[in-house]
Amino acid sequence: MQTTDEGKIDLAIAVLSTNSASDGDVHEAISILATATRTTPAVRERIAEPLILKNINNLIAREPQGSNPFTATALRCVGNACIDNDDARQIVTDAGFSWANACLQSSDAQVRKLTVLVLINVCMDFEPAQKQCFEQNLHFLLIAIVEQTASFGDDDDDRHYPIELLFWITTQKDAAQKNLTEAEKEMPADVLARLLSLPWLHRSNPNQNGNQPGTDDDDFSMILEVIVTFLRDPVIQRQIVHSQSVNSIWQMLLLNETRIAALPTDDEDAKSLLISMSTNLTWCLSDIAANPEFGMSYMTRSDPVPMASNLISSVEETIATVGSESAGNTEVWQNSRTANAACQILGNLLWGLPVKDTTSYVFDKKLHEPLWRLIATDESADLMHSAAGLLIQLTRPSTECQDEVGSVYDAHAALEQLCEHEKPQVKQDGIRLLKSLGKDCAVNQERFASLAKRAMETLSETAANASTSSEDHITDLSR
């Protein structure tokens, strides 16, 4: 193969266009094309042929642990061929990613790193490749690599590219699993545990850590988004419950809030990005807590009160602390967003349990007291909504519970905040809570009579055609 550069390229392409070339000629051809495709778009176009890319992939996959000295060269050739070339990407996708599966498990860190970069070129803005990678479970291997880069990835790109690739691939989860059974959608327990550990492994922020290595806010949010993609799946939610891992999701929320609190005051973009992740995690926690299996897993038959688990204890502490009159000693993560999540978790847990299991929260823990203060003093409509819902749960067991919940000094002011709120949803929460407090409870009917009357008048003034059910909520209070 000794000829001009252009002739070498022609000959190299000819060699890879057959199935009869010797290994030596194939190796030399790939070396020539790896160099040529790096700088010459026309050569990339020429090798975007099924047989050529198949022969290159075969060489890559021949040594599963990447011990073949030509593995790296062949990887570069495939990666270069796919730069801005959807035809090449489709050919690689159609041939499958068994070669990538082998190389991502290579004992050679450089082969693993190069494989990630090649897959970046294949998958960039190309959903068919992303979907095929998910279907072949490459995300399982990428989770392990993202785990590893938290420790040895001193270069920012070493951490960034595996995270970005994992993010792209998991966006195809729903499409890739559309026709799978629930059993087929389950994630191996070790992979799931590894996935849930990633935020802690990547918690170090280079912007707050001098020149030390770390994961920036964009990459950290991508890790959370990957996790949320799986947490939205009821199958994964059940796995989380059965493995007693719900506390990991709660702690993940607190970790994210700690990161938010450490942001510079003028970094609005990062703040908005990470707050959206807190919102997503809260929704997932709320969904998980609404699952009846959650209540069964976090309660004991001999004691109807929730186990003194880290999760429930932390949830209760957050509500009590954020709603305290002296909140000066709170952790940075104890705020209206985490209090909102705590109310949703506990409210959904109690909703699925017998009403008698709620009594201790009223008479022993007096959880209603900080809840009333939260509603009376916090401006978050989301928190007011979830706190009102939890208070409704606390009134369910008996008229004694209704009386106790309604007897708190802050109750009247908090109910005014709800019933006079500008948002219809929050106003309706106040009406529902008034109804729950007054149902068959003469003490509360008298205690909140003026407020109920005023709320009914306001409702009539602002919505002359209000539904009968809304008016019934108010009149029920005086029955």
**Angle made by CA atoms 268, 269, 270, in degrees to the nearest 5:** 95
Q: Are 298 and 246 in contact (CB under 8 A)?
A: yes
At residue 331, the pLDDT reads 77
Query: Which residue carries 């050529």 as its tokens?
Result: 52
Tell me the CATH number for domain 1-179. 1.25.10.10
Using 50, 70 and 90 to split pLDDT, how confident is the model at 299? low
What element of type H or E holds 413? helix 411-419
Residue 221 confidence (pLDDT) above 50? yes
Tell me the two tokens of residue 10.
Answer: 């022609």
Mean pLDDT value across residues 130-159: 89
Higher-confidence residue: 23 or 281? 281
Residue 469 confidence (pLDDT) above 50? no
**Residue 23, SS3?**
helix
Distance from C-alpha of 258 to C-alpha of 252, rounded to nearest angstrom: 10
Tell me the two tokens of residue 106.
Answer: 């290579």
Residue type, 184: E
Residue 210 confidence (pLDDT) above 50? yes
- Name, in order, each residue with C-beta under 8 angstroms of 21's C-beta and a sequence gap of 6 or more: 15, 29
At residue 295, the pLDDT reads 80
Query: Which residue carries 């819902």 as its tokens?
Result: 389
pLDDT, tens digit, 9 for 90 and up, residues 380-413: 999 999 999 999 999 999 999 999 999 999 999 9
Residue 274 confidence (pLDDT) above 50? yes
At residue 304, the pLDDT reads 39
Residue 249 confidence (pLDDT) above 80? yes
At residue 244, the pLDDT reads 86
Check residue 335 and report its DSSP letter: S
Residue type, 129: A
E strands, 21-106, where? none
At residue 59, the pLDDT reads 84
**Angle made by CA atoms 316, 317, 319, in degrees to the nearest 5:** 65
Backbone angles phi, psi at 330, to 5 degrees: -75, 155
Distances (CA, A) of 389 to 193, 381, 382, 386: 32, 12, 11, 5
Q: Are 204 and 214 in contact (CB under 8 A)?
A: yes
At residue 160, the pLDDT reads 93
Show contacts of 418-422: CB within 8 Å, 24+ apart: 418/375, 418/384, 418/388, 419/451, 419/454, 419/455, 419/458, 420/455, 420/458, 421/381, 421/384
Report CA Rg, the chain: 29
Nearest to 406 by CA among 451, 349, 457: 451
Distance from C-alpha of 111 to C-alpha of 117, rounded to nearest angstrom: 10
Residue 307 confidence (pLDDT) above 60? no
Residue 29: half-sphere exposure toward Cβ, Cα within 13 Å = 22
Higher-confidence residue: 108 or 477? 108
Higher-confidence residue: 177 or 158? 177
CA 400 to chain centre: 40
pLDDT, tens digit, 9 for 90 and up, residues 109-142: 899 999 999 999 999 999 999 999 999 999 999 9
In total, the chain counts a number of residues equal to 479
Residue 75: half-sphere exposure toward Cβ, Cα within 13 Å = 27
pLDDT, tens digit, 9 for 90 and up, residues 313-323: 899 999 998 87
pLDDT, tens digit, 9 for 90 and up, residues 54-87: 889 888 887 655 556 789 999 999 999 999 999 9
Residue type, 233: D
Q: Are 133 and 118 in contact (CB under 8 A)?
A: no
Distance from C-alpha of 83 to C-alpha of 74, rounded to nearest angstrom: 15
Distance from C-alpha of 132 to C-alpha of 137, rounded to nearest angstrom: 9
Distance from C-alpha of 157 to C-alpha of 145, rounded to nearest angstrom: 13
Distance from C-alpha of 3 to C-alpha of 40, rounded to nearest angstrom: 19
Distance from C-alpha of 88 to C-alpha of 86, rounded to nearest angstrom: 5
Tell me the two tokens of residue 389.
Answer: 């819902």
Backbone angles phi, psi at 345, to 5 degrees: -60, -50
Residue 219: half-sphere exposure toward Cβ, Cα within 13 Å = 24
pLDDT, tens digit, 9 for 90 and up, residues 400-449: 999 999 999 999 999 999 998 999 999 999 999 999 999 999 999 999 99
Nearest to 429 by CA among 390, 377, 376, 396: 390
Distance from C-alpha of 138 to C-alpha of 115, rounded to nearest angstrom: 11
